[in-house]
Structure 1
Amino acid sequence: MLTTRKLLHRARKVTSCIKILITPIREVNSIPQFNRKQFADNGFYCSSPAFLGRIPIRFCSSASVMETVDWNQKWPAVDACEESNIEALDKNQGTYITVKAYLLGTSVDLKGLQTEHVFDVVPPNSRSANNVVLRVSSNNMLEHSSTKTGIEARNESWSNHRHMVVFQYGSVVLFNFAEQEEEGYLQIVRKYASDLLTETRKDDYAIVEKPSLDTWMREGHDYIVLKRFDIDCIRTIGIVLGQSIALDHFVRQVDGMVAEFIDLNKGMEKTGTFTMKRKKLFQLVGQTNTNLANVIFKLGLFERSDVAWKNAKYAQIWEYLRDEYELQQRFGSLDYKLKFVEHNVRFFLEILQNRKSDALEWLIIILLSAEIMIGLYDIIRNTGMDHFTNF
């Protein structure tokens, strides 16, 4: 499933490739007295399949192409999709680790999960209680058939294990799991989850561990290259991916509320009134407040990872991934939508309140009218009795 972030990333990549291919042609066409036949005879070719014919292409620096140009020079071919080659090279030279993020429900009982799988739990490095890391050896955790103790299992190589980060707010991030075994491990978490979603949300990412890397990390397209992959990398990456997939769920919920109010406004535009009941509006108020509280407090969207606080290397990963997944921008969009919903809720509640006030005013008018009628009746009756008595 392609998320909005992936679609934007791929669109930017395609756009950059097009710019690489189009810009040189514009530069050549801008040269006075351009003779295409002369260039063709000199044997200039474009290596990109996007262009047909023999078209001269040269990638220039900030200097103008009107400066010294050697037309007899055969320029080297430039591949517009060089980024794909770099990605393939990274995967071949390093250890490729798949990362899958899922959202199963609104909450997970972490204490119950840790109690049943105590030997698989990686000891936490802080007092944070909103996530737990489970390490899985080559023996399937579902079978519990391992004869090794928890300490012996932890001393094995990292390449012999897979890791699962489970968050209290319902996200699960799987590291290095085969696709056919993912569902089995997700079923373990579902036993401790509440308010399961009808449609499981999913997002894909990848890590390339490359010890020969000159720097601590290097970014890629939907993957990150790390010099060393360890438990702190798992915690840091897991936190960002878990927050991202959960935030996507809350955004979809708010989008549904926005669509509901848009339809309500359209109906009111046509009929001059609306039919939503007061109870439904109060439910929307509660849902709006709950979503905002979950994003800020439950997800901890504005809280820096404990590992990132202690080590600048992991802080670099944390900041890069937050920017890559656009968490700040997505929260800003969510907050804007919530304000739109809040404005509409306030508006319609005022209308309902005015309706109630109008009803009360009419009730008062009716009671006053009844009281006046009773008073007139008493006056007429008393007047009639006095006249009869005098007669």
Structure 2
Amino acid sequence: MTDPQPSSAPTVTRVTSRVLLLGDRIDAQGLERPDTISTVPLAFHAGANGYVALYRFGVAVLVGLSPLEEEEFLRLLDLRVSGKRGVRDDETALLEVSPQFEDRAPPGGPIQLKDLSPERFLVLADALAKSVSMARDEREVSAVFDVIEPFAADLADKGRPPFRRRAMLKLIGQALLVQHRVSGRIAVEEKPDVLWDRPDLERLYARLEDEYELKERAGTLKRKLDVIVETVRAMTDIIDADRATRLEATIVLLIVGELLISLFQIWHGR
């Protein structure tokens, strides 16, 4: 009687994904290739066994590329990036691919995928791109809060509004830009289009959404933006009211001065 041969366990392939926030926008028009797997976002095969996805809000997701392949691709993409930042936002995520997995995103651990098909890549790339873009917006909103705090403290301490109305309007503009990115271009609450054709990947996207807390972070950002806009508008209203009061006082003084001059001329004439 022969002993049964031990069955070989399925191999686990480890792949690194890299997410880069290159700037405000990426112009991907004209980069379509025969091996394109998606047009919105533009995604295609790259390198020996990798993928690339380009998002119009300035994010590139690279999976399975070697460092040399990444460097060469980013060099070619450089001229198509507008609104570049001094320092790139760069995040990495480790993927484990094996038929034994059930598409999971364990907290703090590598993302486990059944396979690295184009559809699974698009779902993964969507979540990663939204996460790194919101990280930029979270920093910008925190910076706006740091600017507003001294104004509010001065108003509370001295009861005197800041006189820099232009600075207040610039803060409103910054908040509106972030709001536009979160609700418009990034569309955090919208699911990737690939799920229309592959509803079986809904669970994978939901797990990635929970792991990166996309909905919670988007909700927090919107609440902070509402606070910023309301605060700055209140300050500009106070500034405008204070200016109107000073203008009225100036007009009253001019009228009184004109009356005094008229009385003096009448008295001098007599």
The bucket for the TM-score relative to the shorter chain is 0.7 to 0.9
The answer to whether the 8 Å contact 2:105/2:208 transfers is no
The question of whether the paired residues in 1 share the 8 Å contact of 2:15 and 2:95 is answered with: yes
Taking the aligned partners of 1:219 and 1:363, their CA distance within structure 2 comes to: 66
**Unaligned 5+ residue runs, structure 1?**
1-89, 138-159, 385-391
Residues 34-53 of structure 1: pairs in structure 2 closer than 5 A: none
Partner of 2:164: 277
Matched, 1:174 2:92: no
In the aligned structure 2, how far is the partner of 1:98 from the partner of 1:256? 32
Note if contact 1:267-1:274 (Cα within 8 Å) is conserved in structure 2: yes
Alpha-carbon spacing, 1:121–1:291, altered in 2? closer, same or farther (3 Å): farther
Q: Is the 8 A contact 1:244 1:325 kept in 2?
A: yes
2:14/2:97 contact within 8 Å kept: yes
The AA in structure 1 aligned to 2:49 is H
Q: Does 1:95 align with 2:13?
A: yes
Instruction: Assess if the C-alpha contact under 8 Å between 1:218 and 1:226 holds in 2.
Output: yes
Question: How far does residue 184 in structure 1 lie from its aligned partner after superposition?
Answer: 3.2
Shift in alpha-carbon separation, 1:229–1:181, aligned structure 2, 3 A: closer
Matches within 5 A, 1:1-391: 93-112=11-30, 114=31, 118-119=32-33, 122-124=36-38, 128=40, 131-137=41-47, 160-213=48-101, 216-220=102-106, 221-273=108-160, 275=162, 277-381=164-268, 384=270
Q: What SS is found at the alignment partner of 1:316?
A: helix
Alpha-carbon distance in 1 for matches of 2:229, 2:222: 10
Write the distance in 2 (CA, Å) between the matches of 1:219 and 1:349: 46
In 2: Cα distance, 1:381 partner to 1:274 partner: 45
How far residue 378 of structure 1 moved from its aligned partner, in angstroms, is 4.7
Q: Distance in 2 between matches of 1:99 and 1:343?
A: 39
State the TM-score, normalizing by the size of structure 2.
0.87
Aligned-residue sequence identity (percent) comes to: 21
Q: Could you list the per-position Cα deviations for residues 266-295 of structure 1 after superposition, in whole angstroms to 9, with x for gaps in the alignment? A: 344555545451111111111111111110
**2:120 & 2:68 partners in 1: Cα distance?**
24
1:258–1:340 CA contact under 8 A, matched in 2: no
How far is 1:263 from its partner? 2.7
Take 2:38 and 2:207, find their aligned partners in 1: how far apart are those partners?
23
Deviation by residue 1:29-70 (Cα, 9 ceiling, x = unmatched): xxxxxxxxxxxxxxxxxxxxxxxxxxxxxxxxxxxxxxxxxx
Alignment partners' CA distance in 2, 1:276 and 1:246: 34
In terms of fraction of residues, the more strand-rich structure is 2
Deviation at 1:193, TM superposition (A): 0.6
Other-structure match for 2:6: none
Runs of 4+ deviating beyond 6 Å: none
For 1:268 and 1:333, locate their aligned partners in 2 and report how far apart those are by CA, in whole Å: 26
Aligned partner of residue 38 in structure 2, secondary structure: coil
Whether the 8 Å contact between 1:307 and 1:315 is mirrored in structure 2 is no
Query: Which letter does structure 2 place at the counterpart of 1:224?
Result: I
Which secondary structure state, in structure 2, belongs to the residue aligned with residue 111 of structure 1?
coil
Q: Does structure 2 retain, via aligned residues, the 8 Å contact 1:120–1:135?
A: no
Distance 2:96 2:206 in 1: 18
Q: Which structure would you say has the larger RCO, counting Cα contacts within 8 Å and 6 or more residues apart?
A: 2
- How high is the TM-score relative to the length of structure 1? 0.62
**Contact 1:205–1:222 (8 Å) recurs in 2:** no
Letter in 1 for 2:33: F
Map Cα deviations across residues 188-240 of structure 1 (whole Å, 9 max, x no partner).
22221111111111222132221244xx4233343222223211111111111
Q: How many residues align?
A: 261
1:197 maps to amino acid:
R
- The DSSP-based 3-state class of the residue aligned with 2:54 is strand
For residues 269 and 121 of structure 1, the distance between their equivalents in structure 2, rounded to whole angstroms, comes to 61
SS of 1:208's equivalent in the other structure is strand
Question: Which structure has the greater CA radius of gyration?
Answer: 1
Aligned to 1:34: none
CA–CA distance in structure 1, aligned partners of residues 223 and 33 of structure 2: 45
